[in-house]
């Protein structure tokens, strides 16, 4: 008796052998075997950073991406024998421009924060002066105090 295979894997995995194997098993065993095969099958990782031990790099203060900085990344690819400076590479120039933009953004945001702090202090000072002026205008000497003040 022929049964429909329990697994429907993608063709790229090439699991047709397992399907043929499961087809001849008793139904109760076939279900367990199909679940086992489906749980074992994992997708192939496409990036190498998945395999890096990120916790180990973080504990030692290293960057998570080993290609982001270092001698091979930051140093020039070649040097002149007579000592002339080498021109920046394309990647190095991009990093320099990006760092300049970040520095400019930090400067602008810091200036905005300083302005906001000064403005807040100025507004609170003016508000306290206004309140004090109102209190001074309300509290006037009365009775004997007023007569003593006029003399």
Residues 38 and 95 placed together within one structural domain of the fold: no
- pTM of structure: 0.45
- For 22-56, write each residue's pLDDT tens digit: 666 677 666 666 666 666 556 655 555 555 677 88
Angle, in degrees to the nearest 10, between helices 16-23 and 27-40: 160
CB 37, CB 15: distance < 8 Å: yes
| Residue 35 belongs to some domain of the structure | yes
| Residue 58 belongs to some domain of the structure | no
| Residue 65 belongs to some domain of the structure | no
| Residue 117 belongs to some domain of the structure | yes
Name the DSSP letter for residue 60: T
pLDDT of residue 112: 96
| Residue 110 belongs to some domain of the structure | yes
What's the rounded Cα separation, in Å, for the pair 110 and 118? 12
Residues 94 and 149 placed together within one structural domain of the fold: yes
What's the rounded Cα separation, in Å, for the pair 30 and 27? 5
Number of domains in the chain: 2
| Residue 81 belongs to some domain of the structure | no
- For 122-133, write each residue's pLDDT tens digit: 999 999 999 999
Full domain range(s) for residue 35:
1-44
| Residue 69 belongs to some domain of the structure | no
- For 40-99, write each residue's pLDDT tens digit: 556 655 555 555 677 888 888 888 787 777 777 777 888 899 989 888 888 888 889 999
Q: Exposed, middle or buried: residue 18 (CB in 10 Å: 0-12, 13-18, 19+)?
A: buried
């Amino acid at each position: 008796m022929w049964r429909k295979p329990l697994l429907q894997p993608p063709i790229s995995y090439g699991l047709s052998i397992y399907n043929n194997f499961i087809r001849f098993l008793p139904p109760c065993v076939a279900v367990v075997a199909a679940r086992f095969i489906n749980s074992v099958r994992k997708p192939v990782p496409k990036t190498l950073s998945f395999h890096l031990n990120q916790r180990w790099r973080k504990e030692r203060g290293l960057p998570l991406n080993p290609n982001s900085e270092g001698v091979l990344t930051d140093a020039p690819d070649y040097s002149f024998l007579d000592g002339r400076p080498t021109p920046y590479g394309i990647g190095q120039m991009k990093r320099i421009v990006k760092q300049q933009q970040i520095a400019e953004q930090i400067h602008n945001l810091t200036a905005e924060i300083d302005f906001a702090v000064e403005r807040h202090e100025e507004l609170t000072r003016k508000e306290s002066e206004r309140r004090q002026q109102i209190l001074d205008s309300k509290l006037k000497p009365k009775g004997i105090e007023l007569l003593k003040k006029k003399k």
